[in-house]
Amino acid sequence: MKRVLITGVTGQDGAYLSQLLLAKGYEVYGLVRRSSAMDVMDEKLRWLGVADHIRMVDGNLTDLSSLLRVLKDVKPDEVYNLGAQSFVKSSWNQPLLTGSVTGLGAANVLEAVRLEAPGARFYQASSSEMFGLIQEPRQSEKTPFYPRSPYAAAKLYAHWMTVNYRESFGLHASSGILFNHESPLRGIEFVTRKITDGVARIKLGLQEKLALGNLDAKRDWGHARDYVKAMWLMLQQDKPDDYVVATGRTASVREFCDIAFSHVGLRADDHITTDARYLRPAEVEVLLGDPTKVRDRLGWRSETSLEALVAEMVEADLKRVARRVAS
* Residue 185 in contact with ligand GDP, rule: CB under 6 A: no
Nearer to ligand GDP, 285 or 303 (CB): 285
* Residue 253 in contact with ligand GDP, rule: CB under 6 A: yes
Using CB under 6 A, which of the segments 238-246, 277-285, 291-299, 310-318 binds ligand GDP?
277-285
* Residue 183 in contact with ligand GDP, rule: CB under 6 A: no
CB 246, CB 179: distance < 8 Å: yes
Ramachandran angles phi, psi of 234, nearest 5°: -60, -40
Residue 35 CB burial class (10 angstroms; 0-12, 13-18, ≥19): exposed
User: Which spans in 56-149 are helix H?
Assistant: 64-74, 90-93, 95-98, 105-116
Using CB under 6 A, which of the segments 62-70, 112-120, 162-170, 183-191 binds ligand GDP?
183-191
Using CB under 6 A, which of the segments 154-162, 207-215, 259-267, 309-317 binds ligand GDP?
207-215
Instruction: Give the C-alpha separation, 155 to 149, whole Å.
Output: 10
**Residues in 21-80 that interact with ligand GDP by CB under 6 A:** none
* Residue 177 in contact with ligand GDP, rule: CB under 6 A: no
Single out the residue of 54, 110, 202, 212 in contact with ligand GDP (rule: CB under 6 A). 212
Instruction: Give the C-alpha separation, 153 to 99, whole Å.
Output: 8
* Residue 280 in contact with ligand GDP, rule: CB under 6 A: yes
Instruction: Give the C-alpha separation, 19 to 73, whole Å.
Output: 23
SS3 185: coil
Nearer to ligand GDP, 236 or 273 (CB): 273
CB of 235 to ligand GDP, least distance (A): 24
Single out the residue of 103, 132, 150, 213 in contact with ligand GDP (rule: CB under 6 A). 213
* Residue 283 in contact with ligand GDP, rule: CB under 6 A: yes
CB 233, CB 300: distance < 8 Å: yes
Question: From the centroid of its chain, how far is CA 294?
Answer: 17
The count of residues interacting with ligand GDP (CB under 6 A) is: 19
CB 113, CB 120: distance < 8 Å: yes
Single out the residue of 3, 181, 194, 225 in contact with ligand GDP (rule: CB under 6 A). 194
Strands 27-32 and 272-274: unpaired
**What residues line the site for ligand GDP (CB under 6 A)?**
88-89, 129, 180, 189-192, 194, 212-214, 217, 219, 253, 278, 280, 283-284
